[in-house]
């Protein structure tokens, strides 16, 4: 196995040498006009994926401080979700939401119609389950649209390789692309990163990250009810299915993996891990059928040998901990006090985070407390002023690093970055041709249970 770090040179070489594929062919020969929404003052938005994240992203977009914005098109595969999102946004933002009934698109081809409603230089928000990201991003590039996409951006090796190629295509067209790794836009974490990179705690010798709490979102799923297909059920409950979201590991844990790697100013090159399924029945005694482990414990290793330990747990009644820490040769730091990037960040002169040893605490400027709003202000400011802005490559790398830890736990093997990037198990092939009548990427057995990882038994793929 290759244990070389995922260096920029390696990635560039891969991008140049990788074979062409349908999405790249579709983009060939396209030259976008140098037209930006700034020139017509109002930037138009479309949203593809109208769940809670998407609705929240629209709210942040409409709240930017760099000129007028309005929502003009929406798409989702669930009509009820689209209608609920529209109603909420219209009630809150009024005339900034101009989505007529003929601009509300339901179905798997809705993303195309929503993007067709925009002009080159407008913004499309991609907040479907991440398995669909490469499909929708391909069309956005073809249409000359700036993009905001949620994390993770990939869940498997083939998807990561496609998205690296698309990142270069977007860059070549001068498109601005934001990725919802909002820790990078936390002013507290930015201040901390500057100090750590400047040597404030010396050389980093250990990093620790934790996300341990009860089941949330669609972490657990009961057998599919009547009246909905396996495909639609899996999309509806995407956190339960590895193909759709990377499971709870990739979706829940990626922020801490991202910001601790940022503080180290490097990416882990390998991982080994353990995890397990424990309490797998509902209070009514019905067995949960999702693909997730209830616990994960991962040891990431950087190229210089530094360790990063991450612990995740979704079990009710246990001690909760949702935070991150760094230890250095000259001191230590609390990166996130609570949550994905909860301020304040702090530096201590010793290894114990006690008040007496605290030497620095972050101070966030007034009006910049929300990292969600900051990421939108940063993206739109780049669009308005035509500044380079493309977060996709970094999004792919951290998505792959997250998948590397997940696969290590699911297979019981040591997995390197290159192993994960080049893994040929495509969990959901053909998503660019999917329809409501397509079979689901995973099917249940006679008891309604979906395949789950079997560490030590299935070792070259996750299920």
Could you tell me if residue 44 is inside a domain? yes
Task: Calculate mean pLDDT across residues 139-162.
Answer: 98
For residues 118 and 230, membership in a common domain is answered with no
Residue 50 placed within a domain: yes
Residues 140 and 241 in one domain: no
pLDDT score of 35: 45
Model confidence pLDDT, tens digit, residues 23-57: 444 444 444 434 444 456 999 999 999 999 999 99
Q: Do 133 and 263 belong together in one domain?
A: no
- The residues, ordered by sequence, that sit 6+ positions from 346 with a Cβ below 8 Å of its Cβ are 333, 334, 337, 353, 358, 360, 361, 362
Please check the confidence at residue 327 and state whether its pLDDT lies above 90. Answer: yes
The CA–CA distances, whole Å, from 417 to 156, 281, 387, 405 equal 12, 34, 31, 9
Q: Is residue 274 part of a domain?
A: yes
User: Within this chain, do residues 171 and 265 fall inside the same structural domain, yes or no?
Assistant: no
Does the residue 457 lie in any domain? no
Q: In what order do the strands lie in the sheet with 415-416?
A: 358-361, 346-348, 332-336, 321-328, 204-213, 307-314, 295-301, 270-276, 415-416
Identify whether residues 228 and 335 lie together within a single domain.
yes
> What range does the domain containing 50 cover?
10-183+372-391
What stretch of H or E contains 79?
Answer: helix 79-93
Do 167 and 92 share a structural domain? yes
| Predicted local distance difference test score (pLDDT) of residue 40 | 63
Contact predicate 267/417, CB 8 Å: yes
Residues 310 and 353 in one domain: yes
Claim to verify: residue 275 and residue 139 sit in the same structural domain: no
Tell me the pLDDT tens digit for each residue of 416-459.
999 999 999 999 999 999 999 999 999 999 988 999 999 999 99
Per-residue pLDDT reduced to its tens digit, 74-131? 999 999 999 999 999 999 999 999 999 999 999 999 999 999 999 999 999 999 999 9
460 within some domain: no
267 and 324 in a single domain? The answer is: yes
pTM of the model: 0.91
Give the integer Cα–Cα distance in Å for 64 and 53.
Answer: 17
Mean pLDDT for 165-179 is: 98
Token readout for 142 is: 């073809």
CATH number at 66 reads 3.40.50.720
Give the tens place of pLDDT for each residue, 292-316. 999 999 999 999 999 999 999 999 9
Question: Whole-angstrom Cα distance, residue 204 to residue 132?
Answer: 37
Please tell me whether residues 165 and 200 are part of one structural domain: no
Query: Where would I find the H helices in 121-277?
Result: 133-142, 157-172, 187-197, 230-236, 242-245, 247-264
Listed residue (214, 231, 233) closest to 223, CA to CA: 233
Alpha-carbon separation of residue 12 from 6, 282, 389 (angstroms): 10, 48, 18
Co-location of 107 and 253 in the same domain = no
Is residue 436, in this structure, part of any structural domain at all? no
- Whether residue 429 contacts residue 197, with contact meaning beta carbons closer than 8 Å, is answered with no
Q: Which residues contact 169 (CB under 8 A, 6 or more apart)?
A: 24, 27, 141
Task: Please write the tens of the pLDDT for every residue from 192-205.
Answer: 999 999 999 999 99
- Give tens-digit pLDDT for 354-364: 889 999 999 99
Q: What are phi and psi of 178, to 5 degrees?
A: -100, 145
User: Has residue 294 been placed in a domain?
Assistant: yes
Joined together, the tokens standing for residue 6 give 């995922």
Q: Are residues 225 and 291 in the same domain?
A: yes
Residue 446 counted as domain residue: no
The H or E element containing residue 381 is: helix 371-384
| Continuous segment of H or E residues that includes residue 398 | helix 392-411
Residue 278 belongs to domain with CATH number: 3.30.360.10
386-410 as b/e: b if 16+ CB within 10 A:
eeebbbbbbbbbbbbbbbbbbbbbb
Q: In the chain, how many domains are there?
A: 2
């Amino acid at each position: 196995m290759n244990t070389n770090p995922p260096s920029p040179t390696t990635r560039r070489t891969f991008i140049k040498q990788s074979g062409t594929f349908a999405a790249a062919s579709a983009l060939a020969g396209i030259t976008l006009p140098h037209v930006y929404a700034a020139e017509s003052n109002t930037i138009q938005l479309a949203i593809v994926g109208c769940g809670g994240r998407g609705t929240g992203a629209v709210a942040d977009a409409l709240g930017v401080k760099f000129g007028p914005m309005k929502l003009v098109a929406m798409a989702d595969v669930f009509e009820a979700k689209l209608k609920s999102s529209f109603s909420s946004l219209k009630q809150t933002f009024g005339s900034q939401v101009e989505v007529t009934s003929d601009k509300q698109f339901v179905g798997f081809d809705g993303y195309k119609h929503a993007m067709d409603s925009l002009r080159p230089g407008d913004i499309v928000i991609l907040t479907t389950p991440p398995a669909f990201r490469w499909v929708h991003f391909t069309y956005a590039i073809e249409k000359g649209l700036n993009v905001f996409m949620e994390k993770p951006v990939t869940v498997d090796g083939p998807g990561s390789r496609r998205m690296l190629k698309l990142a270069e295509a977007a860059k070549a067209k001068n498109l601005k692309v934001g990725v919802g790794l909002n820790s990078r836009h936390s002013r507290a974490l930015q201040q901390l990163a500057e100090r750590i990179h400047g040597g404030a705690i010396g050389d980093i010798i250990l990093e620790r990250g934790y996300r341990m709490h009860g089941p949330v979102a669609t972490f657990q799923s009961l057998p599919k009810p009547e009246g909905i297909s396996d495909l639609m059920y899996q999309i509806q409950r995407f956190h339960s299915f590895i193909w759709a979201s990377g499971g709870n590991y990739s979706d829940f844990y990626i922020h801490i993996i991202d910001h601790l790697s940022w503080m180290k100013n490097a990416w882990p090159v390998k991982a080994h891990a353990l995890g397990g399924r424990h309490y797998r029945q509902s209070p009514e005694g019905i067995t949960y059928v999702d693909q997730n482990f209830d616990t994960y414990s991962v040891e990431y290793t950087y190229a210089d040998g530094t360790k990063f330990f991450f612990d995740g747990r979704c079990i009710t009644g246990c001690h909760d901990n949702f935070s991150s820490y760094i230890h250095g040769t000259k001191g230590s730091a609390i990166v996130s006090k609570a949550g994905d990037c909860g301020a304040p960040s702090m530096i201590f002169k010793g290894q114990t985070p006690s008040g007496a040893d605290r030497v620095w605490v972050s101070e966030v400027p007034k009006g910049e407390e929300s990292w969600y709003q900051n990421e939108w202000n940063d993206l739109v400011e780049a669009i308005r002023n035509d500044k380079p802005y493309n977060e996709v490559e970094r999004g792919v790398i951290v998505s792959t690093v997250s998948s590397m830890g997940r696969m290590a736990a699911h297979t019981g093997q040591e997995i390197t970055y290159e192993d994960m990037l080049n893994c040929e198990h495509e969990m959901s092939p053909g998503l660019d041709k999917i329809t409501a009548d397509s079979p689901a990427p995973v099917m249940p057995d006679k008891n309604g249970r979906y395949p789950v990882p079997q560490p030590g038994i299935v070792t070259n793929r996750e299920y």
